[in-house]
Each structure stands twice: as structure tokens, then as C-alpha cells.
Structure 1
Amino acid sequence: MNDFLFWWQNLPAQMNPVIFSLGGFAVRWYGTMYIIAFTVVYLLTLYRLKTEKKPFDRQFAGDALTWAMVGVVLGGRLGYILFYGLDGFFADPLGTLIPWTTSSSGGCSFAGITGMSYHGGVIGVVLAMWFFSRSQKKGFFETFDLFIPSLPLGYTFGRLGNFINGELYGRVTDAAVGMYFPMAPTVELRHPSQLYEAFFEGILLFLVLWLLRKKSPYPGFLSGLYLFGYGFVRFFIEFFREPDAHLGFVFLNFSMGQVLCFVMMIAGAAIMLLRANGAGSSPGRK
């Protein structure tokens, strides 16, 4: 038991965020997890198209996910700058937006995307799906609900990528479940909050939405439930997650993530309420 506990608590130091390198280009677990996540969402969506009566085809699903990928990257990056990194943006606007660095010798190298915001990614995907559904003359909520049940399972892989990177670690704890994270400012046991999120915001929320996918009473129900459910779970997990060092607590004893999750819960509840009233006033709509 002591051997397992030692292995568990020191696991983050044993993990290499780089899978392999080709010359100066490194293939990292974090980016690979994004690819796996979108693949999982795509395959589960195709399963829904095959087994459920949906007014969409395979090409529509693929095109929509392509738009969603762009929305995730742009929204996630811009959201991070807006919610967490405005000071860095004002200090170096071009360097913050463009992931390339130049050396004194005139060389140029890829510096990587150094910060992504989940909530910014959500906003980016919502905008991307809105424009895409309009371009295809399809209902926005019908389109969004098509992907929502599988989305949390894909999100699970993103949090596993954070865990392998050793980032977004939790607060200090005395519990045996704690781990030593090399990137943390102190050598103390910390909650593996990335794994908490992977399970509760990912696997658990996926099971709820997947089981309810055929029982949705109106378009937008699954989307609203996802927003509220994710915000609710993440709000409480934030009590175990270390707040961003440069922000700390932004409102009373709440982190920026909790403030954004509260807004997310309100948005989810509002969507379900408004869509339910709209469906009730329109008997002809399914």
C-alpha cells in the first residue's frame, strides 16, 4: 500500500508531456488529446445519426465540427486573454496573439499557445455553430443538441491532457489522494483537480446527457442542461482547484472560474426556461 501511495503521489513528476520529437517539432499529449476529443465527439455523433432519426447527414456533422474546432481555438485563446491575461496582452499585444517568437539573429520559432480558457472556448463554439447553422439553414439549437450529449466525454481527454502537462493543479491538501506537482510553487500535496474535472465534468455529465438524449422534450433542452450541469459541477470543483496566481480570488472568496460558471448556470437555466415556454406555446413544434 505504501508503494502504491508513493507512486500515486509522485506520478506527475514521472509523466512526460511530449510523446515524441521530430527535429525541433514536439508532438505533445495535450494537443493529441484535443484530436482524440474531437474524434470521439464525431464518432458518437455519427452513431446518433445512424441510430436516431435526425435531419442531418454525415457531411453536415463533419462540417459543423470543423467550424467548432475553429471556434474552440479562437474562442479559447481570446477568452483566456480577456478573462485571465489582459495585463500580458497590453504589455505585448502582438506576441500574445501570435504564437511565434523571433530571436536576435532573425530566426523565428513556434512558441505554442500558452493559455486557453474553457469558457472562452464555449463562447467561440456557440458563435461558430450559430453562423454555421444559419449558413446551412438549420435550427441552431437542433444543431447544437446534436453534439451536446457526446461533448463531455471529449472534454474528459482535454483534462487528461492538463493532468499530463502538470498544469491546473489543485489546492494544498493533507488527503492521501493528493499529488506532488513539479510546476506548483511549493512542494506540498495538492488535489489532482484535473482528474476531478475529467470525471465529474466529463464522464458523469456524459452519462447523464447520453441517457437523456432521446428524451429531450424540445430543441435546446440538452444544450441548456449541459451549460447548467457543467457550470454547477465546475463551480464546486473550483474549491479544490488552485486559483490563477496572478488573479487569486476575483469576487469575495470566488475564483474567476467560479464567477464564469455562475454566469454559465444562469445561461443554461434561462435557455431551458425560455425554450420550454416557447415549445409550450407552439404545439406544432416537436
Structure 2
Amino acid sequence: MHFPVYLFGIHPHLLFESLAYFIGFRVYLYTRNKERIPLDKAIWVVVGATLGAAIGSKVLYWFESPVKTVENWNNIIYLVEGKTIVGGLLGGLIGVESAKKCIGWTRSTGDDFVLPLTIGMMIGRIGCFLTGLDDHTYGTPTTWIMGIDFGDGIKRHPTQLYEIIFLLLLIITLTYLKRKQLGWEGWLFQLFMLGYLIFRFLIDFIKPTPHPYFILNNIQLASLLGIIYYIALVLKKQTEKRREIHA
């Protein structure tokens, strides 16, 4: 296989990123809980999520190499070219909460995003994998059987494929838990975020990115903060649910 793998003459990153956004949005419209939030307000939530994700993905990328970012503060190409999924998720969360405040909506909307996000991220990672070295999402060199040569003669961890497999297992698990109806409104999204952030915190130890924050990189630092937040939130919600049961 020669990377990048063009399909129908289209660069894989552009093709699969476009498919991820299109299919993810269609899945959201089809699977969202129509009784939880009306369509007119749901669209504003999506707008907030999109804008927040766009900003968050860029801002977190700038912290990958703070020194390099400072050196290129006036380089527009450098400032706009990179993005991160973790930054997009956390920025999207802020965007959604901001949009909800603007439209006066107080109920949780996160559960409706779990399936669309998972599908979109899996599709997007296919594009990352097929792009090869140019995408900079591969792992460190390895002699493991899963190692992939992306074109320079060095076998590396295909961390894009690891993420696809993890997301598939995560959505299967969350779908099972959803059928059991064990939690509270918003708990599926909280578990999704917690699971994915833990995965990213661990997988980035085998990514050849700068680790300027002691032994951590920008993704791991943001993931760690997110993990702490969601653990505290889940524990709080569990305590509230127990009180309701015993009230």
C-alpha cells in the first residue's frame, strides 16, 4: 500500500473528514431524542458545538509546542493548519453549554451526540490512516505484529486503527448500558467523554509528539483535566441519584 491512498482521485483526509461531518450530522438528526429538544433549538446546539469544536481544536493544537507557536504567532498558515480531536470535543462541550444558555435550554443534550460523534470520529480516523505520514497521527516505531510501514521503511504503531477499534468497543458498551437504563440524563455522554479521554491519555504515550509538560503532551494534559472533571461529575450524579432513590 502506498500512502496517501487516493480514492476517486480525492485526498483521503479531505474525503473522509467531509464524510465524517456529513454522516455524523445526518445520524444526529435521525437518532436524536425528538422529545428531549425541538429541532429549532437542536440546530442552535449543533451550531454551538461546531463553533466550539473548531476553536477548541485549534487552541489545543497551539499548545503542542508552545515555543514554536510563539515563534509563529504571525504565521497564519501555521496557526490554522493543525487541529486536535480532544480540543474539538472539549471546545464543543463549551460551545454546546454556551448555546444552551443563549436559547434558555437547561436539559442535558449530550446523549444525542454520542452515536454521531463516535461514527464521525471513526470515519475521520480512516482518512488519517490512509493519509500516512503527512497526517502526523501515527505512533512510535514498533516491532509488534500490528506495525505498519507508512512509506519510509519504518514500522509504526497504527494508532488511528487502535482508536477505531476502541471507539467501536466503546459504542457497543454504551449501547448495552443504554438498554439497561441504569443512569441519568446525560450519563452516556459523560461516560463516552471519560472513556475516550482515558484512551487518549494512554495512547499518546506511543505518539512521537513533543511532551513539553513534564512527561505529558498537550493532548494528555487536556485529557487529564477532562478526566478529573468527568470523574467528579459522574460521582456527583451518582450521589444525587442515590438520594432520590432513598428520599
The TM-score range, normalised by the shorter chain, is 0.7 to 0.9
- Equivalent position of 2:84 in the other structure: 117
Deviation by residue 1:153-189 (Cα, 9 ceiling, x = unmatched):
211122222212212111111233211124x6xx321
Q: In the alignment, which of 83, 97, 105 is matched to residue 130 of structure 1?
A: 97
User: How far apart in 1 are the matches of 2:47 and 2:98?
Assistant: 13
Q: Which runs of 5+ in 2 are unaligned?
A: none
Counterparts of 1:1-286 in structure 2 under 5 Å? Answer: 11-13=1-3, 15-16=5-6, 20=9, 28-49=11-32, 52=33, 54-81=35-62, 83-95=63-75, 98-99=76-77, 113-139=80-106, 142-166=108-132, 167-182=136-151, 187-200=153-166, 202-214=167-179, 215=181, 217-239=183-205, 241-244=206-209, 247-248=210-211, 250-252=213-215, 254-281=216-243
TM superposition score normalised by structure 2: 0.83
Q: Which runs of 5+ in 1 are unaligned?
A: 1-10, 21-26, 100-110
* 1:235/1:257 contact within 8 Å kept: yes
Higher strand proportion: 1
Deviation by residue 1:22-71 (Cα, 9 ceiling, x = unmatched):
xxxxx64323333322333333333334xx56322334333322322222
User: How far apart in 2 are the matches of 1:281 and 1:135?
Assistant: 31
User: How far apart in 1 are the matches of 2:182 and 2:15?
Assistant: 33
Q: Which has more radius of gyration?
A: 1
User: How far apart in 2 are the matches of 1:35 and 1:61?
Assistant: 21
Deviation by residue 1:69-99 (Cα, 9 ceiling, x = unmatched):
2222111011111x2032232112132xx34
TM superposition score normalised by structure 1: 0.73
User: How far apart in 1 are the matches of 2:241 and 2:96?
Assistant: 21
User: How far apart in 1 are the matches of 2:224 and 2:64?
Assistant: 17
* 2:197/2:223 contact within 8 Å kept: yes
Sequence identity percentage: 24
RMSD, aligned CA: 2.8
> 1:230: Cα distance to partner?
0.7
